Chains A and B, each alone.
Chain A
Amino acid sequence: MDLALSGEAAAYRDQLRSWVEEHLPAQWRDVPVGSGDDAEYVRMRREWGRMLHRGGWLAPHWPTIHGGRGLGVDAQLAFLDVLVAAGAPEQMNTNGMGIFAPALMAFGTEAQQDRYLGPMLAHDDIWCQGFSEPGAGSDLGGLATRAVPDGDRFVVSGQKVWTSYALFAQRCYLMVRVTGVANGVTMVVLHMDRPGVTVRPLRNITGSSEFCEVFLDDVTVDADDVVGGIGAGWRVATYALARERSTGLAQRALQLSRELELMNAQLHRDGHDDGVLVEAFVRSRVVDSTVRRVLATVADGDEPGMLAPVAKVLWSEGHQAQLTTLVEAAGPEVTGAGGGWSDWLRALLFSRAETIYGGTSEIQRNLIAKSLGMPSDRG
C-alpha cells in the first residue's frame, strides 16, 4: 500500500518547500528533539508553529472551517516530508494537533471545536496530555483523579505525571473519573490557569524538564468542557492514543532517515567507520514504509489497527539502536561531549523516553498480540 500524492497535495508540497527554504531560520535547522534550555526550546517551536500557521501551512488535512485546507492525509504526509527534509523543528503543538484534535473533531461538540481548534492551530494555546498518574501508567484504567459533579461544573482533584510541557501549556486534555456514576471515566478540557493547578517540573536523564507533575486540588472544570459525554472517556482516549501512535509520531519516525544522514556525515568528518550504520539505514527504511502505510490507512478512512503499535515499536526501538551504535562507534571523544557530539549524547539519553511515552513497548506488544487474536494474559 502506498500513499500517492494527489495533484493538490503535490502543489501544496511544492509551495511549502519554497516557503520553508525562504523562512526557516538557519539556526533552527536540525536541532535535536528536547535539546537546549527548556524555555528556549519551547519558544523556538512555538514561534515556528506560529510562522507555519500565519503562512497557512499547518494541518492541511483539517477542514477549512477549523483553519485547515480541506486536503487529504496525503497533504499532511507532504507537510511532514518537506519539514523533515529541511531539518525543521516540530511545531510546538504536536501534542494538541496530532493527538487531541482528531478526537475533538470526532467526539467534541461544534462549540468545543470552535472554541479550541483555532487557538490550538495558531499556537496561542499550547496543549498537554493529562493521562498518566502515579498509580496508572501502563494501566491507564486505574486512574484515580476524581471529578465531583457540582451544578454546571465539576470539582477535580488528583495528580498527573509524565505530562509533557505542562509548564508551558494553557490547556490540558484530562482523563478523570466522575464520581457517582458507573464507568465514569471521562475526558475533559482543563484550563491550566485555574486556581488549584500546580505544575512541578521533573528533571530527567537529559537534564531537562520536559515532563512534569501536575497536582489538581479542587480545580473547577466547566460541564461544557466534557468531551464525548460522561463515561465516554475511555473511547475518546483510545481514539486519541491511536493517533499518537500513528500520525502523531509520524514526523519523528520519518526523521530517522534524516538523522542518519547527519550521523553519517559526523562519523565521516571525524574519521570513523561509517559502515556501522548500514543496519540502521535498513531499519529506518522499514520504519519509513510502515509510517507511510499507517498514514495511507488513515487516508482511506480506516483505523490503523495493529500497524500503529508496530510503527511505534519499530521507530522507538530503532531510534535507540541507531543512537547507541553511533555513540559506540564514535569512541572516546564522545564521552567528553565536545566536538559536536553533545547533541547526539542528549538525543541518546532522550531516546530512552521514547519506548515509555505514548504507551511503553510492552503495552505496544500487548496491542499487537491482541490484534493477532492472541489470548490476554489477564486470564
Chain B
Amino acid sequence: MTAPLDQLTDAQADLVARARSIAQNELRPRAAEWDRRAEFPEEQFDLLRKAGLAGLTVPVEYGGQGLGTFEACLVLEELAAGCLASAMTIQMQVNGPPRVLARIGTDRQRKDYLPRVADGSVCFSIAMTEPQAGSDGTALQTTLSPHGDGFLLTGEKCHITGALRSDAFLVFCRAPDTTGPDGIGAVLIDREVEGLAPIETEPKMGGRAIAEGIMRFTDVPVRADQVVLEPKTGSRDGARFLIRQFNPERCGNAAMSVGLARNALDDAVAYVKEREQFGRPIVEFQGLQWKIADMATAIEGARLLLWRAARTDVEGFPGIRETAMAKLAANEAAVMVTSEALQLLGHKGYLTRYPMERYVRDAFGLGIGGGTTAVLRNMIAGEVTGVRVSQRKS
C-alpha cells in the first residue's frame, strides 16, 4: 500500500524534531541580529555543521548521511521557520554543487570535496547568473578556453549567493565561439585563485546576512581535473544538465518559502488572538478568519506540492514539472502569507522592532532567486502543453 503523501517515517519525524528544536531554540532568537548586521551567520552555521546538517545529502561513503531531497526539504523548512539566513547557509551544501559532484563528479573531485562538505569545512556556491544571463541562463558568456594542458576561464558572474563566504564555486561556462544552449559546461574553482578579482557585493532587500557577490574571472587557470562538465561545441548536454541540477536547489528554496510563511502565519495567529479591538479579540472577526484560512491553505498546498516534487527525486534530481510547480506555489504563498500577516499586525508589522517586516523582505528574494516565478510559469506551461517557446528575440 502506498503511504499517504504527508506521512513521514519515524526517522524523518525525528529529523524534523531535531531541526525544529535547533531552529526555535538556537536560530530564531538571533535571526534579527544577523539581518541587521548583514553578515554571514558564522556561529549559526557552526551550530548546524556540528549537528551534521551540512552533510545531510552527502553520500555515506564520503562522511555524510546519504539522505535525499525530501529529507533536505524537511530540514530546510524547519530551519527557515527559525532563521532564513541560517537555512540558506545549509541550502547550498545540501542542494547545491555537492549534489552535482556526487552525481557526475570524478572520483578525485568527490574525495577531495565531499568529506569537507560533510564536516562543514568547505562552503560552496553556484556561479551561474551573469549581468546579461539571469532568467535567460543559456545566454551566459563566461568562457572556458583551452590553454596548454588545461584551460583559462574568463567572464563575470553576479548575484552569487553566499559568494563572500564560500570556499569553492561551481562555475558555469561555455566553449569559445558557442551561443545559446550549445557548448555549456561547468568547472570547480577555489576561492584563492589567480585571476579572480576581489569579490564585490551590494546591499539587498531580503536575506541580508547571505550576501550576493559579483565575481570577475580574468584568465583564471583551470586544470583538467577541475572540469566537472566539459563544455563541448555542438553539445547541448550541459544545458540539459544545467536545468536539471537546479531542481534540488529549487525544492530547497520552496521548503524555505514554506518555513518562512509558516513562521509568519504562526506569529499572525498569536497576534490576532491576543489583540483586542472593538471590545474583543480580532480573531473573532470573520473577515480576518478568512484571511487566516487562505494563508494556511496556501502553505499546506505548497507543502504538498513540494513533498510530491521532492519524492520524484531520481538519481539526485527531482522532476522539472513537479519542482517548478512546487517552487511557484511556495514562493507565491510566502509573498502572500507574509504580506497578509504584516497587514494583520498593522502598525507592528511595519516596524523593524518586530520580525514581520523581515519576513516580507525575505519572501520577495525567494521568489526571485533560483528561477523567478515568471520563468517557472513558462516552464510549467511548456510541460503542460508540450509546446516550449523560446522567449529569446529572434
User: Which of A's residues lie within 8 Å of B, judged by CB?
Assistant: 132, 135-139, 141-142, 161-162, 202-205, 207, 211, 273, 276, 320, 324, 327-329, 331-338, 345, 348-349, 352-353, 355-356, 360-362, 365-366, 377-378
Contacts and interface: CB of A to CB of B under 8 A. Distances in A.
B54 to A, nearest CB: 25
18 contacts: A132-B347, A137-B347, A138-B278, A138-B346, A139-B279, A205-B342, A205-B352, A205-B360, A328-B367, A328-B373, A329-B374, A332-B134, A333-B131, A333-B159, A349-B361, A352-B343, A356-B347, A378-B278
A356 B372 contact: no
A353 to B, nearest CB: 5
Nearest to B358: A205
Nearest to B338: A352
Across the A-B interface, give the 6 residue pairs with the lowest CB-CB distance, nearest first.
Answer: A205-B357, A139-B277, A332-B134, A203-B352, A331-B372, A332-B159
Given A337-B203, A337-B205, A353-B350, A276 B159 contact: no
B350 A352 contact: yes
Contacts of B131: 333
A53 to B, nearest CB: 32
B293 to A, nearest CB: 15
A137 B134 contact: no
Given A138-B277, A377-B286, A203 B353 contact: yes
Contacts of B339: 320, 352
A333 B134 contact: yes
Nearest to A356: B346
B278 A139 contact: yes
Interface string B356-394: 010011001101110011110000000000000001000
Contacts of A353: 350
A332 B277 contact: no
B369 A204 contact: no
B195 to A, nearest CB: 23
Contacts of B335: 324
Interface string B26-65: 0000000000000000000000000000000000000000
Nearest to B356: A205
A205 B212 contact: no
Contacts of B357: 204-205, 349, 352
Nearest to A137: B346
Contacts of B374: 273, 276, 328-329, 331
Given A205-B357, A349-B205, A362-B287, A335 B368 contact: yes
A365 B204 contact: no
Interface string B72-113: 000000000000000000000000000000000000000000
Nearest to A324: B335
Given A336-B159, A337-B203, A355-B343, 6 more contacts: A161-B347, A203-B353, A335-B369, A352-B342, A352-B357, A356-B347
Given A142-B277, A336-B202, A349-B361, A202 B353 contact: yes
A377 B365 CA distance: 38
B158 interface: yes
B323 interface: no
Contacts of A332: 129, 134-135, 158-159, 368-369, 372
B33 to A, nearest CB: 15
A19 to B, nearest CB: 37
A267 to B, nearest CB: 12
Interface residues of B, number: 45
A211 B369 contact: no
Given A205-B352, A337-B203, A356 B343 contact: yes
A334 B368 contact: yes
Interface of B: 129, 131, 134-135, 158-159, 202-206, 212, 276-279, 282, 285-288, 335, 339, 342-343, 346-347, 349-353, 357, 360-361, 364-365, 367-369, 372-375, 391
Contacts of B361: 205, 349
A365 B367 CA distance: 30
Nearest to B132: A271
Contact of B204 (A337, A352, A378): A337
Contact of A336 (B158, B288, B349): B158
A241 to B, nearest CB: 16
A102 B203 CA distance: 43
A362 B288 contact: yes
Contacts of A202: 351, 353
A360 B343 contact: yes
Nearest to B158: A336
A365 B205 CA distance: 31
B38 to A, nearest CB: 12
A324 B364 CA distance: 9
Contacts of B277: 136-139, 142
A328 B205 CA distance: 14
A352 B347 contact: no
Contacts of A137: 277, 346-347
A112 B301 CA distance: 58
Contacts of B349: 352, 356
A336 B205 CA distance: 7
B352 A204 contact: yes
Nearest to A345: B205
Contacts of B364: 327, 335, 348
Contacts of B353: 202-203
Contacts of A361: 343
A102 to B, nearest CB: 25
A328 B368 contact: yes
A135 B347 CA distance: 11
Contacts of B276: 135
Contact of B350 (A136, A142, A333, A356): A356
Nearest to B373: A328
Contacts of A338: 202
